[in-house]
Amino acid sequence: MIDYHLHLWPHGSRDIPPTVEQLALYCEKAQANGVTEIAITEHLFRFVQADRALSGFWNNDSNRDLAHQMEKYWSEHARADLDTYVECVLQAKRAGLPIILGLEVDYYRDQMDKVSELLSDYPFDVLLGSVHWLGAWGFDDISCDIVMDEWEVRDIEKVWDDYTISIEELAQSQVCDVLAHPDLVKITGRFPRVPEEFYDRMAAAAISSTMVAELSSAGWRKPVAEQYPNYYLLKRFVEAGVGITTASDAHKVNDVSDNANKLKGLLDSVGCEVLTGFRSRKSYEIKL
């Protein structure tokens, strides 16, 4: 098993420069849960380099309360240095830790070329692609009252459609390697009348882009209380030959490789016999 989605800092925390010792603790916790390799994949927006290239995308949103909230959220997070982060993970790799260098990259409509240019000179092994906000609405920030109020007034069919369009456009951009938590939009437990229609579109996006899909235990720690992706979508991915990575999306060491055995059981139930690993953005098969 692998854990290809790990963060170094909880949301809202002050970003302390990472150390090899911290990464070693992540590796120890992963190995205790039967996981043999991890990828450190901090959010791109937590780095000052992203702030210079991408900030201000929220200004086009007509909801000024949401725009202000997103600006505040962004400014609280975009504090770390990408070069320091990269060098620390590379140092851990050189020390022999079973670790690879990654990043979680949000979808920025009409700006993915800027993302590609920003990241092109770094030696990443894997890039996760994700959708966390629709316009200025960071829909998965379930601790924020403004965000949760929007869930009460928005049409759920449209929310799912807007999210799925973003997934389709993210895949079409071909900037990233893995679709992280593909059906994150279900985080609060709100579903459209026929969610399978949206799942089919998400699967088609992965198939057409040759992206790999992530099976994540993080959903079990959220209100929806279900893994990402839904069983139906996971089965569609596997049957269509879409590669799979496994992940915990941990933001602290205690959650590293959370429920790895449970994820293994899901893979067995859909007939998945291999995972997909990455080196230098090139994929390879890992036998389960």
| Residue 189: exposure state from Cβ atoms within 10 A (0-12, 13-18, ≥19) | exposed
Structure tokens at 89: 């993970």
Kindly report the backbone phi and psi dihedral angles of residue 56, in degrees, each rounded to the nearest multiple of 5, phi listed first. Answer: 95, 0
CATH number of the domain within which 221 lies: 3.20.20.140
Domain count, the chain: 1
Average pLDDT, the chain: 96
- For 47, residues 6+ apart whose C-beta sits below 8 A from its C-beta are 78, 80, 81, 82, 85
What pLDDT, on a 0 to 100 scale, did the predictor assign at position 11?
A: 85
Domain containing 52: what range?
2-287
pLDDT band at 260 (very low <50, low <70, confident <90, very high): very high
**Calpha distance 65→71 (Å, rounded):** 10
Helices then strands, counting H and E runs in the chain, come out as 10, 9
**Calpha distance 169→143 (Å, rounded):** 28
| pTM for the full predicted model | 0.97
Q: Is the pLDDT of residue 64 over 90?
A: yes
What pLDDT, on a 0 to 100 scale, did the predictor assign at position 144?
A: 95
Q: Is the pLDDT of residue 12 over 80?
A: no
